[in-house]
């Protein structure tokens, strides 16, 4: 099946070979699996291993605004193997220690030094606080092709990102890492609701028949159970 949906940052598509097995998995995986990064390295790097700080920052913002709330609504945690874990990631700690006092005042949360530009603060992290850069961990910039980071910084290229980037063969193994196992199937929920609805309808009909037949109220409980 192929699922299409619209978010605040553009259209997304998820192609899967079989129906999603549960309602909660559908709610939590629908967006996550469609956004999983697929072998992309940022080209405007700032730091080691060519991991772009700018794109990592944009990806972290999108994940925190659109993806984490999905898990929180279902009182669930992102599985450890899921590629959308914001931490540990390369620059996560740096981002949380960056304070924008104004458009021209960026302050380091480690030593308190201020800079006119955020890029200068990034260079400061590399030179003065290299131990705070988690080299060897995930680079969130890798997710930018599917998170549409360029849409936020380059609106004129929006038409390019209207095309959904569905690659079923690559999505399926990544999707499994974000699935939450504990869930009730949507079919089971439908059956439960149907049974409850029929039971309520049965009680209503029995009470109506009792009124028509003039059955005393103290006998209605026995009458209802006898009919069942």
Residue 97: phi and psi, rounded to 5, are: -105, 10
Distance CA 86, CA 68 (A): 9
Contact 6, 30 (CB under 8 A): no
Instruction: Identify the band that residue 105 occupies on the pLDDT scale cut at 50, 70 and 90.
Output: very high
Residue 86: its pLDDT value, please? 78
CA distance 49 to 36: 20
* ω into 10 cis (within 30 of 0): no
How confident is the model over 55-97, as pLDDT tens digits?
999 889 888 888 888 888 888 887 776 767 777 789 999 999 9
**CB contact burial 70-90 (16+ within 10 A = b; e otherwise):** bbeebeeebbeebbbbbeebb
pLDDT tens string 169-179: 777 777 777 77
Alpha-carbon gap, residue 140 to 126, rounded angstroms: 17
**pTM for the structure as a whole:** 0.51
Residues 6+ apart with CB under 8 A from 56: 42, 89, 90, 91, 95, 139, 140, 141
For the segment 193-202, what is each residue's pLDDT rounded down to a tens digit? Answer: 888 888 888 7
Tell me the HSE value of 132 on the side-chain side, using a 13 A CA sphere.
20
Instruction: Give the pLDDT band (50/70/90) at residue 118.
Output: very high
Give the model's pLDDT for residue 208: 72
Element (DSSP H or E) covering residue 13: strand 10-15
Query: How far is Cα 18 from Cα 34, in angstroms, rounded to an integer?
Result: 15
Q: Is the dihedral of CA 50, 44, 33, 166 positive or negative?
A: negative
% of the chain exceeding 90 in pLDDT: 20
Reported in sequence order, the residue ranges of 21-112 that DSSP labels E, i.e. its strands, are 98-102, 105-108
Cβ–Cβ < 8 Å for 87, 60: no
Strands 2-7, 10-15: pairing is: antiparallel
- CA distance linking residue 205 with residue 197, whole number of Å: 12
């Amino acid at each position: 099946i192929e699922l299409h949906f619209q978010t605040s940052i553009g259209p997304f598509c998820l192609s899967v070979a079989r129906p999603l097995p549960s309602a909660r998995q559908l709610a939590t995986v629908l967006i996550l699996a469609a956004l999983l990064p697929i072998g992309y390295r940022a080209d405007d790097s700032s730091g080691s291993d060519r991991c772009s700080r700018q794109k990592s920052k944009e990806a972290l913002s999108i994940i925190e605004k659109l993806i984490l709330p999905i898990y929180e609504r279902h009182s669930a945690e992102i599985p450890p193997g899921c590629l959308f874990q914001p931490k540990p990631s390369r620059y996560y700690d740096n981002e949380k220690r960056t304070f924008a006092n104004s458009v021209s005042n960026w302050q380091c949360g480690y030593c308190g030094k201020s800079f006119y530009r955020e890029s200068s603060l990034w260079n400061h992290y590399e030179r003065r606080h290299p131990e705070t850069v988690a080299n060897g961990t995930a680079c969130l910039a890798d997710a930018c092709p599917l998170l549409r980071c360029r849409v936020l910084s380059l609106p004129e290229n929006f038409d390019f990102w209207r095309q959904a980037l569905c690659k079923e063969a690559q999505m399926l193994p990544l999707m499994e890492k974000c699935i939450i196992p504990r869930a009730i199937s949507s079919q089971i929920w439908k059956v439960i609701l149907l049974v409850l609805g029929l039971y309520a309808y049965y009680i209503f009909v029995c009470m109506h028949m009792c009124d028509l037949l003039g059955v005393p109220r103290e006998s209605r409980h026995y009458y209802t159970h006898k009919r069942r």
